């Protein structure tokens, strides 16, 4: 059973699609990462996970390519995002109407996004778009108990400038308030630490911190992979207020106020979190791994 996965050149997408690769292989598929359309595409293959990046190719070539797949899972972009993000090419689909019509026509093409599009109306040109949120790569992340990684709170992430540089100020304000508490912090921004170090840091720390982009706070349709990874490894998280996070994990403490965010950290550092950590880890492993998401794909 063969599946192709096309991946972005960098950023969180590398970790996301590595998680999908691990999950598909766990399901018995032979997985190959490719850039664009694979050079030696067989006459027929089981599945393809790709983005709208193929839309710039000749339409006949795209049709031939898509029709060879028993199933193609096409990650699509919005036709129009709200302002101010709608002014930036990162937020608008580059797919021409001819490509959208082709994808809508083919029964073996399934459209999906990370966010809950029931909350927005930005995908109106596409046929049914399925909501499949991000997840935790429990196969790739294998932490060990090691007190060298123990911290009161931890955060691993980057500025992730989306064209408006919204994330930097959010990180500086919230993490600055947490650092002012005088607790032992393991904060790594743009450090590109290894997967093993990240796993051990999260697993051995008491509280994981999570912060999102401004668009995620405003629109509330999606969250970052850190949400699932932090809960799956640390077991307890203090997060900013994002609707998808609060919908999926209603017991998670959240706030968009930097001072209240830090107060939540201070409050829970004084509590015994072992029971809730075990509960959260079990929930992630049961419901929010990439293997769960592959099951969702297969059941579309």
Structure tokens at 194: 């290894």
- Going along the chain from its start, the domains and CATH numbers come out as 2-132 (3.40.50), 147-287 (3.40.50.2000)
pLDDT recorded at residue 285:
98
pLDDT recorded at residue 11:
74
pLDDT recorded at residue 45:
85
Structure tokens at 235: 């077991």
Going by pLDDT thresholds of 50, 70 and 90, the confidence category of residue 9 is: low
pLDDT recorded at residue 17:
92
Yes or no: say if 52 and 76 are a contact pair by the CB < 8 Å rule: yes
Percent of the chain with pLDDT over 70: 98
Q: Which residues contact 11 (CB under 8 A, 6 or more apart)?
A: 160
Asked if the model's pLDDT at residue 54 lies above 90, the reply is no
Q: Return the higher-pLDDT residue of 63 and 233.
A: 233
- Lowest mean pLDDT: which of 74-83, 106-115, 207-216, 238-247? 74-83
Which DSSP category does 120 fall into? -
> Could you write out the DSSP letters of every residue in 41-108?
--S-EEEEEEEGGGGGS-HHHHHHHHHHEEEEEEE---S-PPTTGGGSGGGS----HHHHHHHHH-TT
Asked if the model's pLDDT at residue 41 lies above 80, the reply is no
pTM of structure? 0.94
Yes or no: say if 206 and 152 are a contact pair by the CB < 8 Å rule: yes
């Amino acid at each position: 059973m063969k599946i192709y996965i096309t991946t972005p050149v960098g950023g969180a997408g590398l970790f996301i699609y590595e998680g999908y690769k691990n999950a598909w292989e766990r399901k018995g598929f032979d997985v190959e990462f490719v850039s664009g359309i694979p050079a030696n595409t067989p006459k027929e293959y089981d599945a393809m996970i790709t983005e709208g990046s193929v839309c710039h190719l000749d339409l006949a070539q795209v049709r031939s390519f898509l029709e060879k797949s028993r199933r193609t899972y096409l990650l699509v972009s919005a036709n129009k995002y709200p302002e101010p993000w709608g002014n930036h090419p990162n937020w608008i689909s580059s797919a021409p109407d001819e490509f959208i019509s082709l994808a809508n026509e083919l029964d073996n093409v399934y459209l999906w996004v990370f966010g809950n599009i029931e909350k927005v109306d930005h995908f109106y040109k596409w046929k049914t778009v399925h909501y499949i949120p991000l997840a935790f790569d429990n196969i790739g992340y294998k932490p060990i108990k090691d007190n060298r990684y123990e911290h009161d709170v931890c955060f691993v992430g980057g500025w992730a400038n989306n064209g408006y540089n919204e994330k930097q100020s959010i990180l500086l304000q919230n993490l600055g308030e947490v650092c002012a508490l005088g607790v032992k912090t393991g904060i790594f921004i743009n450090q590109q630490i290894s997967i093993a170090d990240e796993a051990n840091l999260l697993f051995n720390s008491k509280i994981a911190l999570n912060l999102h982009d401004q668009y995620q706070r405003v629109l509330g349709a999606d969250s970052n992979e850190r949400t699932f990874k932090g809960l799956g490894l640390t077991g307890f998280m203090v997060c900013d207020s994002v609707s998808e996070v609060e919908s999926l994990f209603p017991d998670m403490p959240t706030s968009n106020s930097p001072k209240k965010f830090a107060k939540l950290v201070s409050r829970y550092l004084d509590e015994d979190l072992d029971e809730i950590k075990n509960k959260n880890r079990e929930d992630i492993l049961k419901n929010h791994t990439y293997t769960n998401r592959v099951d969702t794909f297969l059941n579309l």
